Each structure stands twice: as C-alpha cells, then as structure tokens.
Amino acid sequence: MNSFFQNKLRLPSHDGDDEFERICAILTPNKSLYAQIQEEQAKYDKQDEGQNDGQNEGQDEGQDEEQEEGFTPPEATPEMIARYQAFLLPRLLKKSNKLKMTGREDLGYFGWEERFFWGNGSEKEHQSMKKNMASCDDKFHFIRLVDWDESLGVMAEVKRITDKKLFAIPLVDLVVFQEKLNEFQLIEDYSSWFVNFGPEVLDSNVCVILDVIK
C-alpha cells in the first residue's frame, strides 16, 4: 500500500502536529481520515439531492479538496462536550491547586468588563464589581472540572489567588500561564474546538455571568 492510501487510512493521533487531529483523537479516535472524508461527502451529496449537479460541481470539488487536507473535529454537541470533559477530567485533576490560570480575553464570561475597557464606566465602579466577580486579569489556581453546559461547554472551578474566592468559569475562557506545560496545550486544543465548532459566542451584553460558588 502506498503512502497516499496509508495516510488516508490512518487514525488520528494524540501526538499529531495539527490541533484538529489531536481533537479527533479524543472525540472520534476510531474514525480514519478516509472515513471522515466519505462521511462528509455523503452529507454534501444528500444536501445536493434535487439540485442541478452542474451548479454545484465546482463547489463540491473544492469541498473534497478541503476535506482531504486533514482531520475535521465533530460539532460540539452535548455528547461530544461530555466526552471531552471525561478525557480532560483525570488529566487536570492531578493539577488541582497547582495549575495557574488567568482570563483569556474580555469576552464570554468576562464580557461584563468590556465596557470599562472602552471607558464606559468609572474605575471605582470597576474595582467595586471585581470584589465579587472574576476579572479577566485575575490570577487563579485551577481546582477541578465541575460540570458541562450545552452553551458554555466544560466548566472549571478556580480559586482567585488574591482572596481565595471560588468561581465556576467556562474552561474556554481560561488560559494556562506556562506554555511549556502539557496542560496548556490540552486546554488550548479544547478552546479551539469549542470556539470553532460550538455555539455562537454570546454577546457581552447578554452573556451569562455565573454566580460565585459559595
């Protein structure tokens, strides 16, 4: 068997250079690249039923080429979110109270701060709200994964270093400090998957701010 077909029949690897391949190794470990391409093509064919073949010929060829480039992770359905959490749970649990994290950006969970960064609020008000709400600039110790939500994804319990307050924050909105740690890549891959294949990012004006864990 030549290298071309060997590549198409290979299964995704946790050690792959591509983040999408590593994600597929977690969520669809037994699906080869060829099987994935065939599955995607079947979806396109079904969508094209009853339509003019000539109109979509060029488009289909482009889709085939795109699929052949590499693995594509599945959508972030409840089943897949639960599967990802089950994979991460034992790998992050051993880092409880050791892994340092901070906010990824002033969106999502931390969207409440965006207006202050644009000058739409006083510094006094901002500092007052930060006493009881987690800030994007806060430093945390990771405690554990607590649950998952269809809209927010896997949830992490973290402890703010300055005052020991506990918060439940979507894992996608957190980042590990040290890039050399294995956990950094684990969480970056998960975040990439949830951002690209999960529900639309909530606008900061309507984002759900979770209660501080008592």
The answer as to whether 203 is a domain residue is no
- Burial track 86-95 (b if 16+ CB lie within 10 A, e otherwise): ebbeeebeeb
In the chain, pLDDT over 70 holds for what percent of residues?
76
| Predicted confidence band of residue 113 (pLDDT cuts 50, 70, 90) | confident
Same-domain pairing of 56 and 139: no
**Total domains present in the chain:** 2
Domain that holds residue 37: 3-68
Amino acid identity at 104: R
Residue 82 shares a structural domain with residue 58: no
Mean pLDDT calculated for residue range 88-97: 92
pTM: 0.79
In DSSP terms, 97 is beta-bridged to none
The encoded tokens of residue 36 equal 């994935």
Domain-located, residue 204: no
Do 86 and 191 belong together in one domain? yes
Q: Are 67 and 20 in contact (CB under 8 A)?
A: no
pLDDT at 65 over 50: no
Residue 137 CB partners (closer than 8 Å, separation 6+):
102, 103
Q: How far apart are CA 195 and CA 193, in angstroms?
A: 6
pLDDT at 48 over 60: yes
- Same domain? For 112 and 57 the reply is no
**Inside any domain, residue 91:** yes
Per-residue pLDDT at 42 exceeds 80:
no
CA 214 to chain centroid, in Å, comes to 27
Which residues lie below 8 Å from residue 194, measured CB to CB, with a gap of 6+?
Answer: 76, 81, 153, 154, 171, 172
* pLDDT value of position 134: 93
How much is the average pLDDT of 40-69? 56
Q: Are residues 41 and 91 in the same domain?
A: no
